[in-house]
Amino acid sequence: MADEGATAPEEPNQPATSAELQRRLREEVARAARNGTALATLAIVIENLDDVVHDGDGSLRDRTTAYLADTLASELRAYDRVGQWPGGALVVILPGADAIEAERVARRLLARIRSVKLEIGGERHPLTVTIGFANFAAEATGDDLLLRALSAARHAGAERIQLAAVESPNVF
């Protein structure tokens, strides 16, 4: 069946805007629900970005996260999607990835980000990163998946990878 596989982006390995990420996440959630396939979302929070990047208008911060998104795109499959999220986070959509594969990708991306040293004002600055990830569960929306991944990242603590807890209905 033609729609069983993940949709390849129009421009493979090009970072997406937040609007493109939201659209793509809705599409992938619908596909996962329809076909019973796996889907994971990673939220990457650069903990020390504000400490490293000091600019009044946020343009250097935006360029830095755009650079990181571009760097991470080269580490992903052609049909995965990475992009900037408002607030300085990066989001990665992994169609077909279960929790084991999502954690494997998260570890690879964490290692890649750790290898990046930003040079600002003649000084090299390592980045401190936390990654949260969430897997698709029945009746979840793209927003649910994204919020669970972002929440896991924000609560994990620096330099950690954290799987979001799956909320299950109470059964009596």
In this predicted structure, what is the pLDDT of residue 170?
31
CB neighbour class for 139 (10 Å; exposed up to 12, middle 13-18, buried from 19) = exposed
Is residue 164 within 8 A of residue 148, CB to CB? The reply is yes
* Overall average pLDDT of the 7-14 stretch: 56
Q: What is the pLDDT of residues 53-93, one digit of tens each?
A: 766 666 777 888 888 999 999 999 999 999 988 878 899 99
Which residue type occupies 108?
R
pLDDT at 157 (0 to 100):
66
In this predicted model, which residue has the larger pLDDT, 96 or 86? 96
Each residue's pLDDT tens digit, 113-161 = 888 888 877 888 888 888 888 998 877 888 888 888 888 877 766 666 7
**Per-residue confidence (pLDDT) for residue 26, from 0 to 100:** 93
| Nearest by Cα to 30 from 153, 145, 134 | 145
Residue 109 binned pLDDT confidence (cut-offs 50, 70, 90): very high
Q: Give dist(CA 171, CA 144) in Å, integer.
A: 21
Task: Give all domains of the chain, ordered by start, each with its CATH number.
Answer: 18-163 (3.30.70.270)
